[in-house]
Structure formats: structure tokens, C-alpha cells
Structure 1
């Protein structure tokens, strides 16, 4: 009788812990994708450092969880926004998306090369967090002062494809989905306001995350990854996409820009924390 009583309480405690963990991952997907859909950040830029901080999964698994969650967000966001009056530059955004897909293959190859050759995901994690922090600081300064910086209206398709290639390479290597890089690039090369750039960023992210998932499916498959939290995060991503796309339709460009900058600043601080913890 005592053994049965103890066994019941051990299982009960384990189940309660699993519920709490599932709730945390659902909220990460929900928060990241709500802000991601609203400010064009995508969500991966938030998901990756948060999952790094939790420390439950390796870098490769985090990449798959992030890609699937962000892809679900991008899908529902585009469905919600298809009848809105927001400006989606489909041709140029599609060219960037194609470049991002090509760059994504290169970036993923570089990531796998460094993981295999360095033999330590910890070192790669420190490199990722450090590079990401530098990039985000540059983007934060640019977005904060973009009204005083000369922007362009690039029309050369080769240049646009090349920009997408660089964005895809960096995003895939850093495992972030490309959101803030996309927004900054769209503002800089097409002189978009932050609100329009955020919507076009989601359009680009849809294709880049789809290609990332197809690459995993066609190469290693998903069996080697611990995806126990996948559907919990995807559920959060779907709801976040619906909520975030409603916000972006109703809020002013100024509020979207402020949301983008505040979120970016918090992500920079979180990355600094991750670097310190990984080094320590």
C-alpha cells in the first residue's frame, strides 16, 4: 500500500512538472510570435535566446522548434493580412525570400560544419550569441535613428537577391529566422516605414522557414530531434500570429516602431546574459 501511495505521488509530481514546462513553452511561442507578427521580428529572434537560457535542448533542436513555431505564425499571419490595406511588395520581398533560401542553405551548412569541427555546441553557442548581439546593436542604432540616415529605393534585382542571400546566410547560421535583419534591410534598401517593413518581413520569413524545415526533412529527418514541445510551441505560434496580425493592422507606425526597438533592446540584454552563462 505504501509503495502504491508513493508511486502515485511520484507520477503525479512528474505530470505536474510536465504541465508547467509545457505551459512555459506555450507562452514562449505565444509571446514571441505575437510580438514577431506585430513588429516583423518573426519570433525566432526571441525564441532562440529564451530556449538557450532554459538549457533543455541542444542548438540543432532549438533551430527546428523555432523554425516550426515561426512558420506556423507566418502562415496564419499572411492569411489574416491578405485582405488588409497594408503594403506588401510581393515582387521585391519574394526576390529577397529566394535569396534568403539560397543563403539559408549556405548558413546551415556553415553551422553544421562548425558544430562538427569544433566538437562543442557550447563554443558555437557563444559565437552565435556574440555575433547576434553585435548585429542587433547595429540594427537597434539604425532603427532608432533611421529618420536621419539616408535610405534607398533599390530596383536592381541582382542586388535585391544578393541582399536576401546575405540575410539568409546570417539568419540560418544564427538560428533566428531573420526578422530584425529583414526589417532593417527593407527600411534601408526600399525606404519602407517600420509597419510596412514588418509585414513584408513576415512574407519573407514564411519562405525562409519553410525551406529550413524542408532542408531538415530532406537531409537528417526529424527522428534525431527531441520535439516533445513542438506542438505546444506551434499552438502558441498560431495564436500569436492571429493576435499579432490583428495588432499590426490597427496600431500606428510609431507604436510598431517602438515595439520593435524595445523588444530588440531586451533581446540584446538576454543575449548578453546567455554569453555570460555560457562562458561561466
Structure 2
């Protein structure tokens, strides 16, 4: 085989690899967005550990890819609210969203500071471990919430404070806050599954929009490898459309089942990521 033939063979292999990567990242964005739109998870809590698992990008780039994909999904989903047979509680959810934006600045600051103290591996281990712990607590709450008291909180200062805490945790973990939002909406406002999904998506929209604006105003996007961003965002658009259509056809019990199963799978992925990072 001549050198020219070898060159074309290598080129074909490279193009095939690129096509596989494009399909992979599209499917990650699409599947995470379908589940996120159906269960109020947003998708970031799925995208972050999955991209950690593949290890193609650093933590900061994963945060940008996740935020942009989730923003497209939440935008599409919110445009479908009227047909989703749920109620958007703007008064409470907007306060939580404002708190999440404020908390997001603190969370991002803590994240950036953690990177200066040690390697990205240490930060990744902390993120995955903390996320797994929080998801275990959320899973246990969702499983046994029927035995617990749910509230209807009206105190605006308390709601805003809750939003700040949610935003801080979500920004540090890079997840968009979906499962945290849903659990809080159940617990503090006695929402059913569909209402929690819609209001969680509303909160996620503002938190991810503010996260991207913060990046644009500080580091900018040029320093990140965003070659797969367009494919993931396209997956986010289609996933948001499909998820919004599916939620119209399922009841609250089915939504909770999807939520719980997804949480369990994400816990397993995070535990695997921690073990892999430490090995």
C-alpha cells in the first residue's frame, strides 16, 4: 500500500470516528433532554456525569456544554407549557429562580476557587461524591414523601433563601438544579408531579441563562472546545419537544417513576466516576 493510500485510509478512519462522536453527543443531548423535560430534571444532572464518564472534556467545558443544552431544552419545554396540563406558579418559582441566579454566582465562585487549590481530579471527585449523596437523599425523600408533611410556604424571604442555596449547589455541581428543584417544590409547595416538572423547568431556564451570561462576561467562550455544542443543542431542542409531548400522555405516578429510576441510574454513574477518578 502506497503512502497516499495509507493517508486516505487514515482519513476515512478519522472521519468515521468524528461521525460516531457527533452521533454520541447528539444522543446524549437528546436522551438527557427527553428525560429532563418529562421529569423536571433539566438534563444537566444527566449530562454532567455522563460526560465525566467519557472523559473527552475538562470540567469547565462540560459545564458550558451542559448549560447550553439544558437552556435549549428548557426554552422549548416552556413554549409547550399550555399543552402540558400543569400550572406554572410564577410568583413562587420566579423568586426561587432569582435566588438561584444569585446563588449561582457564589457557587461558580466556589467552584473556580476549588480549582486553584488542587487538581481538577480532586474537584471532580468532590463534585461526583456530593452529587451522589444529594441524589441518594432526594431518592429517599421521593420514595417516602407520602409519610412526610408537605408545606405551602408563602414567606418570600424564605423562598428566596432556598433559591440561593439551590443555585449555589447547582452551580458548584454543574447540574442545573433539576432534582433539587423538584424535591423542594414537592416539599415546600405541595405540588404534584406535573406542576413540579413545569416549575422546575422554569427555574432551570433562568439559572442556565444566567450561567451562560456570566461565562460570556468573564472568560468568554473562545477558551472552550465547543465542537460538539451544536449537535448537543440540536438534541436539546428535539428532546424538549419529545419530552413535552410525552408528559401530556402520562400521569403523575408515571412521572415520579421515571424520576426515581433516572436518579438511581445517575447515582450509579457518579459512584463509578468517583472510583474511576481515584484509581
Fold in common (TM above 0.5): yes
What does residue range 209-248 of structure 1 map to in structure 2 within 5 Å?
A: 209-248=208-247
In the other structure, the counterpart of 1:53 is 53
Q: 1:264 — aligned with what?
A: 263
Helix, strand or coil: the match of 1:250? coil
2:248 aligned counterpart, secondary structure: helix
Q: TM-score, normalised by structure 2?
A: 0.98
Distance 1:28 1:145 in 2: 30
Report if the CA contact (8 A) 2:83-2:248 is conserved. Answer: no
Q: Provide the rounded CA distance (Å) in 1 between the counterparts of 2:45 and 2:178.
A: 7
Contact 1:86 1:249 in 2 (8 A): no
Q: CA deviation at 1:116?
A: 1.4
Indicate the RMSD between aligned Cα atoms, in angstroms: 0.9
Question: Gaps spanning 5+ residues in structure 2: where?
Answer: none
Deviations 1:184-218, CA, capped at 9 Å, x for gaps: 00000001112210111000000000000000000
Q: Is the 8 A contact 1:107 1:169 kept in 2?
A: yes
Deviates more, 1:73-82 or 1:154-163: 73-82
Distance (whole Å) between structure 1 residues aligned to residue 120 and residue 134 of structure 2: 21
| Pairs within 5 Å for 1:71-150 | 71-118=71-118, 120-150=119-149
How far apart are the structure 1 equivalents of 2:11 and 2:82?
A: 47
Partner of 1:177: 176
1:198-251: CA deviation from partner (whole Å, max 9, x where unpaired) = 111000000000000000000000011000100010011110000001111221
Distance in structure 2 (CA, Å) of the matches to 1:84 and 1:28: 24
- Check conservation: 1:195, 1:257, Cα contact below 8 A: no
Report if aligned partners of 2:84, 2:247 keep a CA contact under 8 Å in 1: no
Shift of 1:86: 1.0
Distance in 2 between residues matched to 1:200 and 1:9, nearest whole Å: 52
Structure 1 residue 129: deviation in Å?
Answer: 0.6
Unaligned runs of 5+ in 1: none
TM normalised by structure 1 equals 0.98
- How far apart, in 1, do the equivalents of 2:262 and 2:215 lie? 29
Count, aligned residues: 279
Equivalent residue number for residue 37 of structure 2: 37
Which digits, 9 at most, give the CA deviation of each residue in 1:62-116, with x for residues without a partner?
Answer: 0000000000000000012235431110111010000000000000000000101
Give the conservation status (yes or no) of the 8 Å contact 2:84–2:244: no
